[in-house]
Amino acid sequence: MRIRTERRERLVPHTIDGETKLVKDEYDVEVPLPPRDWDHIVLTGALAVVAVGLGIVIVWSTSSIGNLLVRTKVSEVVAYAAATGFSLGWIVCMALEWLARYDPAGVRRPRSAGHVFLAADMAAVCVHGWLADTFAVGVIGAVLSGGAKALYTLVLDHQAAPLDARTQQWVAIKRAEVGGRLALGAARRQLTRVESRAAAEEAAIRTAPDTDPDGPDLDEGDAEVVPIKRPVKDAKAAVKDVWDSGFHDEDLIRRLASKALGREISAETVSRYVRALKVGA
């Protein structure tokens, strides 16, 4: 059995002049090593080979397709940037396959899309070889892309753990529940924003200034009331004049006094002045 030595620390009592303190003390411990996990090592090596192969394929395809697109007289930067889309399309689909490896139904769509992108990539590489009078080289480059995709699919199929039908249904139900919670959270945030905007607009409308420069309008029931004609200096004087004219309804007093003053008087101010007038009476 293989072992390794680890340096650890512990607290031990240490006394000087009759005073004891806990101090750190280092010591060595021999720990047995677990056996090598060759399955994991082999899988890691296979993934490394696939990653290296994908890198080579991307460089080759981008170089070939970029050279093909340059023939259209576009900028080389634009041509080679567009060429990366051919390889990145099916590689992104491969990543989606990996994320959906436990869902046989969910993996079909990215796998089918990946085959379409791969076919376009291989066809473009073959066309470049044919136009460059090296059709055989183009075919070999296309086979490299197909081989990298096939190798990745084999590794993915080995890594994906199959689920029985009941477990698969349970996972689908749980995923739907979590997805529903996320969707409801987003919907609530959206409704909160809309309600906040509506409340702000309503508040702005309620506090908007009166468009009538002569002051507030009288209601239809006040048509026969003659507003105060003599000038007033402040709200208190305007309220007192209306009160002395025989009108004791606070809402009516507020409207008539505001009309005479030429600006809006708050209901709270009118109530305060009316209370004072009642006490004086």
- Tokens representing 20? 């004891």
For 75-91, what is each residue's pLDDT tens digit? 888 888 888 888 888 88
Q: Which of the residue ranges 24-28, 47-51, 188-192, 210-214 would you say has the lowest mean pLDDT?
A: 210-214
Name the residue among 223, 227, 225 with its Cα closest to residue 262.
Answer: 227
Per the listing, tokens 């109530």 go with: 271
Name the residue among 79, 88, 81 with its Cα closest to residue 54.
Answer: 88
Look at residue 206 in the predicted model and tell me its pLDDT.
Answer: 66
> How far is 125 from 58, CA to CA, in rounded Å?
11
Q: How confident is the model at residue 27 (pLDDT cuts 50, 70, 90)?
A: very high
Look at residue 241 in the predicted model and tell me its pLDDT.
Answer: 84
3-state SS class at 3: strand
Q: Mean pLDDT across the stretch 177-204?
A: 86
Q: How confident is the model at residue 221 (pLDDT cuts 50, 70, 90)?
A: very low
CB 278: neighbour CB atoms within 10 A?
10
Q: How confident is the model at residue 209 (pLDDT cuts 50, 70, 90)?
A: low
> Per-domain residue ranges for the chain?
38-159, 220-280
> How far is 74 from 89, CA to CA, in rounded Å?
22
Q: Quick check: pTM over 0.75?
A: no
User: Which residues share a beta bridge with 25?
Assistant: 10
> How far is 23 from 10, CA to CA, in rounded Å?
8
Q: Mean pLDDT across the stretch 42-64?
A: 87
* Phi/psi at 263 (5° precision): -150, 165
Please provide the average confidence, as pLDDT, over all residues in the chain.
82
Q: Mean pLDDT across the stretch 239-258?
A: 83
CB 273: neighbour CB atoms within 10 A?
23
Cα-to-chain-centroid distance, residue 273: 56
> How far is 60 from 124, CA to CA, in rounded Å?
12
